[in-house]
Structure 1
Amino acid sequence: MSPLGTDLTPTDQGAAPLPVVVVTGLSGAGLSTALKSLEDLGYEAVDNLRLSLFRALLTQAHDRPLVVGIDSRTRDFDPPALAAAIEEMRGRPELKVRLLFMDASDEVLQRRYTETRRPHPLGLDRPVLDGVARERSLLQPLKDTADEVMDTSDLSIHDARRHLAGAFGLEVTPRLQVFVTSFSYRHGVPREADLVFDVRFLENPHYVPELRPLTGLDRPVQDYIRQDPDYAGFFERLTALLGPLLPRYVREGKHYLTIAIGCTGGKHRSVFLTHGLATWLAERGYKVVEAHRELDRKGMARPAGARDGGQPGDAPGGGLVGETPGERR
C-alpha cells in the first residue's frame, strides 16, 4: 500500500470544491493559533494527522471545510511526500487545497522557547537554535510549495487571526480586507507588509516642543502635518494609486492586504497618514483594520482609531503572545 493511503470514492463532482487548508511550519511559529483561528472561522480541524491517512481523510465526504495540521511531531512525517500528496490533491476538482506555512525568525523562535523554558522538539538535548536550524532545513520543500507563508515574528494573536480571516475566510463573496498600520523605521519594516510607504519627508512634529508628547491621533499634530506644503499632494497621489490597484488585487484572488506607513519614530506622521488612509478606505466600502505598532508597544493607542471591530491596542509587537511553543510546537 502507498504510504499516503488508498484512494476512496471522490465527493460529488457537481458540488462546489471543498476548501481544505493544510497547516505546517516551524515549531513555535503559531501553528496552534492558526488551527484554532480557522476552526473559529468554520473549518473542521484535524490536528497531528498521520501522513498515511492524509489522502483517505481528504477523499471522504465532508459537510464543512477542513483544516489539517501536519508537522514535525507526526510519527511518519515526510516533507517531500507531503508536498507531493498536496500537489496531487490540488488536482482533484472536488477539492480546493491550500498549504499554509507558519514561519518566524530564529531570534523570535529562540525567545519564545526561552520564555516557556521548554526544549525544541527536534533538539531535546541541544540548544534551541540547533533544533530550529534542523527543522527549517527539513521543512524547506513545504515552504517552497506553500500557497501562503505567514511570518509571525512581529504579529500578535489578534494580528494573526485577522490575517487568517482575510486569507482563508469562507464568505461566499469575500471582500478585500485591508490592514493599515503605522510603524517606526528604527524598529524595522513590518514583515507582513504588502505595500510600504515612507512619509519621513514631511515636517516632523517631534521637533515642536508642545507637539512632541502628542501623537498623530491628536488634532494639533494633524493640523501641523496638514500645513506641510507636500502633504495634500502626497495623500492625493497615494489614494490615486490605491484606487485602481485594490480592485485588481481582488480580481487576482487576494483577500487580505497589509499597507504599512512609516516615519522615524512611528508616533506622529505615520500615525496621522495611517488614520487618514484607513478612513478613506472605509468610506469606499473596504473592510479595514487600523493599527499603530509603536503606539501599541508604548500603550498609547486609543480605541477611537479602530475600524471594523479591530482596535489599535490589539496589535502589540513581539510575536504571538499566548502561544506556548512546547505545548504544541
Structure 2
Amino acid sequence: MVAILTSDKAPASARQRVLLVTGVLGAGKTTALNVLEDLGWETIDNFPIRLLDRLIDSGEAPAGDGAIHAPLAIGFDSRTRGFNPHEVIQLVKRLTARADLELTTLYLDCATGELERRYNETRRRHPMASDLPVVAGINAEREMMEPLRRWADIVINSTMFSANQLQQAIREQFSPDSGPELTLTVSSFGFSRGMPPVADFVFDMRFLNNPHWDTVLRPMTGREAAVGDFIRQDPAFDTAYVQIRDLLLTVLPRFRAQGKAYVHVAFGCTGGRHRSVFMAEQISAALRASGFSLTILHRNLGSRAADLVEGATTR
C-alpha cells in the first residue's frame, strides 16, 4: 500500500523529507535503516518518538539560506520509551500539516509464523513474551501496533523476503531516481608478483600468446598498438574478449540493482605488462561505451620485463 502525499504549501524540493520507520519486531526495521543510510539518508534508531518535533526543529536551517538537508529516517518500535501508537498518530498528523516537512510512515510487517521461525532460529526472546511462548509476545505486539499499520503510508510485508530481497525492496522504494552508484574498478596484474588482495572477478590471460618473447615488443606494454596487434592475432583472443565482455555486461547491472557498492574486475598475466594490460584496456573501453563509469589500474605496468619473471617457456 502506497499513499502519495501532496501539499500546495511549499515545493517538495524545499521541504525536509522525514521517514518514520516502524513495524513488528523481527520484520526488518534495522535492515531497512541500514539500506537507507547507504542511500544517503540520515538515520536514527530507537528514537523517543514524542521528541520528534524537537529533533526536526533543532535541525532547521536558518531562514533564507537555501540549505538542503539530507532526508531523515527515524526508527522506532514497541520497545521505544513512552511508545503509544495513538499518540504517535496524533503527532504525525500535526507534523504533516507543517509546510516545511514531507513526512511519510513506513511500516514493516511479517506473518506470525515467519516471525516465530526467525525468533527460534536466532534464539532471541520476544520482549513482550517474558516466560510465555514467543507467539504470545508476537500476538500482543501485533495488537498494539495495529493502529500504526492501518495509518502507515507504505506497508512492506517481509514474510517471503530474504534479507537481500528486503534490501532491494527498500532501495526500489526510496533510492534517488538515478539509482545507487556502482564503483567499478578494472585492473591488470602479474601473477608472478602476487594476486590482488580483493577482486570480484579474476580473468587469467596467460592462455594468450606472450609478447614478452618478441624482442621488439618486450620493452613495450599492452597500451601500445604493436602489442595489441600481436595479441589480437591469437585465434583465442576474439572469442575470449566477447565472452568476458558479455558476462560483465550481464552481471554488472544486476550487481547495481542489488545495491552492491564496489566491483573489482582483475585481469592477470605472468608479468602484468602485456596481455593483462591490453585486455583490461579493451574491456574498460567496452564498459564505458555501455554507460559504465570506472577506474582502470595497472598494478605492474612499470615493473621490469624479465625472463626470470616470465619463465623459460613461450607462454
- Secondary structure in 2 matching 1:24: strand
Match of 1:45, SS state, is strand
Structure 1 letter corresponding to 2:143: S
Aligned equivalent of 2:79: 73
Which of 28, 31, 46 is the equivalent residue of 1:30?
Answer: 28
From the CA coordinates, give the structure whose radius of gyration is larger: 2
Aligned to 1:43: 41
Superposition pairs of residues 76-155 of structure 1, within 5 angstroms: 76-155=82-161
Q: Secondary structure at the residue paired with 2:90?
A: helix
Match of 2:254 among 309, 320, 324: 309
Q: Which runs of 5+ in 1 are unaligned?
A: 1-11, 176-301, 315-329
Instruction: Tell me, yes or no, if the aligned pair for 2:106 and 2:152 is still in contact at 8 Å.
Output: yes
Alignment check: 8 A CA contact 2:109 2:155 kept: yes
For 1:29 and 1:93, locate their aligned partners in 2 and report how far apart those are by CA, in whole Å: 32
CA contact (8 A) 1:303 1:311 kept: no
Alpha-carbon distance between aligned partners in 2 of 1:147 and 1:18, rounded to the nearest angstrom: 17
- Cα deviation code 1:228-273 (max 9, x no counterpart): xxxxxxxxxxxxxxxxxxxxxxxxxxxxxxxxxxxxxxxxxxxxxx
After the TM superposition, which residues 168-187 of structure 1 pair with which residues of structure 2 at under 5 Å, given as runs? 168-171=174-177
| Structure 2 CA distance for aligned equivalents of residues 112 and 102 of structure 1 | 15
Check the 8 A contact 1:110/1:129 in 2, yes or no.
Answer: yes
Q: Is the 8 A contact 2:50 2:91 kept in 1?
A: no
Aligned pairs for 1:285-304 (under 5 A) are none
Alpha-carbon shift at residue 157 of structure 1 (Å): 2.0
Cα distance, 1:145–1:31 mapped onto 2, change above 3 Å = same
- Per the alignment, residue 157 of structure 1 pairs with 163
- In structure 2, do the counterparts of structure 1 residues 133 and 34 end up closer, same or farther at CA, with 3 Å as the change threshold? same
Query: 1:61: Cα distance to partner?
Result: 2.5
Relative distance call for 1:313 and 1:119 in structure 2 (3 A) is same
Structure 2 unaligned blocks of 5 or more: 1-9, 61-68, 181-246, 260-315
Alignment of 1:200-239 (within 5 A): none
Identity across aligned pairs (percent)? 33
Shift of 1:170: 3.4
2:32 and 2:167 in contact (8 A); partners too: yes
Aligned counterparts of 1:313 and 1:44: Cα–Cα separation in 2: 21
Give the TM-score normalised by structure 1: 0.49
Q: CA deviation at 1:308?
A: 2.7
RMSD: 2.9
TM-score normalized by the length of structure 2 = 0.51
